[in-house]
Amino acid sequence: MRFLVTNDDGIFAPGLAAAVEVLQHFGKVAVVAPDGERSATSHSITLRKPLKAERMTIFGGNVPAYAIVGGTPADCVKLALGVLFEEKPDCVVSGINAGANIGRDIHYSGTIGGAREGTLSGIPGVAVSLDRTDAAEPDFGAAKGLFYAALSSLRKEEALEGLMNINLPAIPESSCPGIAEAVPDFSLDRYRHMTADQPEGGVLYWLRDRQAWLEPSRPDSDFHLLREGYITVSKIGLAAGHEEEQITPIGGKQR
C-alpha cells in the first residue's frame, strides 16, 4: 500500500514519526505536514496567501517529506494530491495526534480535517489520535503497538474505507481489552471559556479542556469506550453531524 501522512501537530511532532514507523510495516510512506502546530484548524484551507513546500530530509532520509510553510493539514493533503506527487496514495493517514479527538472534536480537529481531505478525493482517510490522561507527555512508544493492531485489524476485515476516526488509549498494548466500533458522543461539551479580568480593564477569554471531568452519555460512545481502555474506531460520513433526534427542528416542532 501507499500511504500519505499528515498531522496538525507539525512535521517534527513525535506522533508523526510514530505513525510513519508503523505504516512502513504496511507499505510505502510519503509525508506532507505543516511546518508547525495547526491544532483545531478543522478543514480550513489557505486562500489569500501563497504556500511554500520545503523538502525535508528526515525519517532517515528514505521517506519523501515536505513541510508546508503556513499550511493547514487540509492544505497539505490537497497540495500533495494535486501537485507534489504524481502517484496517488491508497490511504491518507493523519496523526498520531497528541490528545484524543472524540465527540464534537471531529468538527474542530485539524487531524480529522487532513484525513477528510483525502476522503473528498476518493481516498480512504484515517485520523489517529492518542488519549492524554494527565499533563505528562504522551507515550508514543506504546501508541505504535496500538496503532499497528488497529490497522492490522482494519486491513484484515477489509474495512479500510471512507473516513475513519481512531482513538488510542493511553495504556500499554498488553492492558488494552481490544478494538471497539464507537459512536461519537456529540452531547459532551468538552471545551468551555474561562475568563480573567485585566488590570487595565477588559476581560480575557480562553478555552479550557474539561474532558477529565465529563461523563459519557452512552455506553457505545467513543468517550466511554476509550475511557474503558479500548481502541475506538468511528466511521464518519463526509456530512458528519449530530444525530437527527438531537437537533431541534426549525420552529421547534417535531415533524
The identity of residue 130, as a single letter, is L
In sequence order, the 6+-apart residues with CB closer than 8 A to the CB of 206 are 193, 194, 196
Say how far apart CA 66 and CA 7 lie, in whole Å. 12
Q: Do 125 and 116 contact (CB within 8 A), yes or no?
A: yes
Residue 139 annotated in ligand binding? no
Cite the beta strand spans of the chain per DSSP E: 2-6, 28-34, 52-55, 65-69, 91-98, 125-130, 163-168, 179-181, 191-197, 203-209, 231-236
Say how far apart CA 251 and CA 69 lie, in whole Å. 46
- Of the CA atoms within 13 Å of residue 36, those in its CB half-sphere come to 2
Q: Do 31 and 65 contact (CB within 8 A), yes or no?
A: yes
Please name every residue paired with 28 in a beta bridge, in sequence order, or none if there are none: 2
Residue 9 annotated in ligand binding? yes
Nearest to 69 by CA among 112, 26, 10: 10
Q: Do 90 and 124 contact (CB within 8 A), yes or no?
A: yes
Say how far apart CA 19 and CA 5 lie, in whole Å. 8
In sequence order, the 6+-apart residues with CB closer than 8 A to the CB of 85 are 4, 30, 64
Residue 94 annotated in ligand binding? no
Residue 62 annotated in ligand binding? no
Q: What are the binding residues? A: 8-9, 39, 97
Q: What are the binding residues for a divalent metal cation? A: 8-9, 39, 97
